[in-house]
Amino acid sequence: MLIFAHRGGQGHAPANTLKAFDLAVNAGTSALESDVRATVDGNLVFFHDAIVSLGMGRKLPVFLVPYKRLQLINAGAGERIPRVKDVFKHYADQGKLEAMTWSIDVPGIQPSFSIEFDHLVKICEAFVISKNVLACSTGCKILLHWRRKSPVMTYVWSVRPEQLRKMAVSGVINACKACQADVLNIKLEDATSELVDAARAKDLQVFLWDVHDRARYERAIQFNPDAIYTDYPLEATNGTWST
């Protein structure tokens, strides 16, 4: 079972920062999860929210903010919002990047609008790590469009509770196959044996997210998932949960 450090392992450091990534990697984690956003000047950064606070009550979408302005923002504990290419270079210089697996949430559900994905493809190709990258979306149909652009990446549908309620198990599995998803990523609370078994019957990998404490971890492993996402990768790896 692969254990992804969710947002770099935000249980121990500010989310999606180099400090979080380094803490996870130095603790022995080789699988990192993060989110990306594109800036107005064409930089791809590790950042979750679509809107960023610039101070003095001013907020703007990340895609309207230049990267240099983002660098003035405290991402927590004095950390800055990092560019994807800088983080990749950081680990490439240490000889670690090739052995790492990245699960990256990419915004957008419309196939005709995927600026972040286009940036991500170029950066991954430059570092020759496309095969180590999982591109994740809450929209299933966009995965097929992405696969045409980068056949090498792995594609993950992070299905939402409302999608499950609307489509039911059979609809979700059929959508995965139609959109050529490789992985069905399920929120732990939504995981059922019926859904997991149906996914495996169609040769889909099963990931579980929102596994952030001992009780959730123990429930998650009952499904024998291929991977989990947790804010506490070290605790999940060595069993040292505090709660």
3-class secondary-structure state, position 227 = strand
- Was domain 2-49+82-238 assigned CATH 1.10.230.10? no
Query: Apex CA 79: angle with CA 77 and CA 82, to 5°?
Result: 155
Per-residue pLDDT of the chain (243 residues; tens, 9 = 90+): 999 999 999 999 999 999 999 999 998 999 999 999 999 999 999 999 999 999 888 999 999 999 999 999 999 999 999 999 999 999 999 999 999 999 999 997 665 568 999 999 999 999 999 999 999 999 999 999 999 999 999 999 999 999 999 999 999 999 999 999 999 999 999 999 999 999 999 999 999 999 999 999 999 999 999 999 999 999 999 888 886
Distance CA 88, CA 97 (A): 7
Place of tokens 């949430």: 105
The pTM score is 0.96
| Identity at 115, one-letter amino acid code | I
Crossing angle of helices 193-201 and 161-178, in 10° steps, is 10
Task: State the alpha helices, DSSP H only, in 94-232.
Answer: 115-127, 141-149, 161-178, 193-201, 214-221
Report the C-alpha gap between 25 and 9 in whole angstroms.
10
H-run or E-run covering 52: strand 51-55
Q: Enter the tokens of residue 192.
A: 């059922």
